[in-house]
Amino acid sequence: MNNENQDQKNALTLALKASETELVSQKNELRKHLNVKILNVLLRRWRASLNDEFRTEMFQIFSDIKDQEALSCIMDSLEAENRIDRKNEIISLLWMSSLDASDHLVDLVNIALNGNYMTVVEVSTVIESFEGEFGEDEVMESMYQIDEKLLAVENPEFATVLMDLKEVVNKLNVT
């Protein structure tokens, strides 16, 4: 086993077994060897943690990841998370990391529609960063879902951010 593989294995073991305090003290080692497996473990621990220092330090590591393969791990965490405040943090991770989540347009709109005011704002920010072209079906599906939600919304502030989200989706380039 070469040194890099051994280092990856050691970092995974650290992520799995170390205390949150140890992980914070070893953050540079984790950052250096971060891969999708380690990210998955750390995201699960981050989601369950009540330790603010741990959550802050790990979030900084997460935002550094540039491996597009990490997107599925982040989206899985987003889908699995029940707490809206944590969902909002995970959504912000998408735009902080600059990962391309454009293939998840409809999923992100659904998450926004089932979240709160900040969820819609965070999702709008992510979608605004999308480049490239989108299929007409996914844009129309997203617009339809937003329209359906707008019909049911009673809170004027929430309706306003939903209209903003609709405008952002409407500005996407359609093929």
Residue 112's pLDDT is 98
Cβ neighbours of residue 99 closer than 8 Å, sequence gap 6 or more:
65, 66, 68, 70, 71, 74
Greater pLDDT, 3 or 79: 79
> Please, what is the end-to-end C-alpha distance for the chain in angstroms?
47
pLDDT band at 15 (very low <50, low <70, confident <90, very high): very high
What confidence tens digit (pLDDT) does each residue in 112-138 have?
Answer: 999 999 999 999 999 999 998 999 999
What confidence tens digit (pLDDT) does each residue in 29-81 have?
Answer: 999 999 999 999 999 999 999 999 999 999 999 998 888 999 999 999 999 99
Residue 1's pLDDT is 56
Average pLDDT, the chain: 95
Q: With H, G, I as helix, E, B as strand and everything else as coil, classify residue 130.
A: coil
